[in-house]
Amino acid sequence: MLTMQELKFRQLFGIYSIVRLVRDASIPDWAMRGQFVSITRAVDELSIVCQTENVPKEIDPGPRWICLKLEGPFPFSQTGVLLSFIQPLSSNSVPIFAISTYYTDYVLVQEDYAGLAVATLQKAGHEFLGIQTI
């Protein structure tokens, strides 16, 4: 049985968008600005996560998201980190988009669910460290 972990997390400043471009698109300059950017190329698409303010007006930015950063780093041998964080959100029907990096995990939550997400995570024993401005 998996033991749920109590984690520390903070919210990154700003509002984020998740944009899908065609698979062979070049990585646009606008996608590279901001404190948090994730670019993933797969066989079917080029996905970009960046601050909404950077998305050009001719591109639909889709829903607005906040970005929660888990305080890592977490060793690769540590299991259940992301599950401990997203399980309470899933149980409360909070839509998420998860991104893992070498050191930590980021969970984007639709802006409309931001208050519910933070309250749910705190109720589950996770510690909210506030908003990271830089």
Q: What value does the CA radius of gyration of the chain take, rounded to a whole number of Å? A: 15
Query: CB neighbours of 90 closer than 8 A, spacing ≥ 6?
Result: 96
Domain residue limits, the chain: 8-132
What pLDDT score does 23 carry? 92
What pLDDT score does 2 carry? 45
The tens digit of pLDDT for each residue in 86-95 reads 999 999 999 9
pLDDT band at 134 (very low <50, low <70, confident <90, very high): low
The listed CATH number (3.30.2130.10, 3.60.70.12, 3.40.50.300, 3.40.50.80) that belongs to domain 8-132: 3.30.2130.10
Please check the confidence at residue 4 and state whether its pLDDT lies above 80. Answer: no
Q: pTM for this one?
A: 0.91
pLDDT band at 1 (very low <50, low <70, confident <90, very high): very low
The CB-based long-range contact list for 123-129 (8 Å cut-off, 24+ gap) reads 123/88, 124/4, 124/87, 124/88, 125/4, 125/6, 126/6, 126/7, 126/8, 126/9, 126/84, 126/85, 126/88, 127/6, 127/7, 127/8, 127/9, 128/9, 128/10, 128/11, 129/8, 129/9, 129/10, 129/71
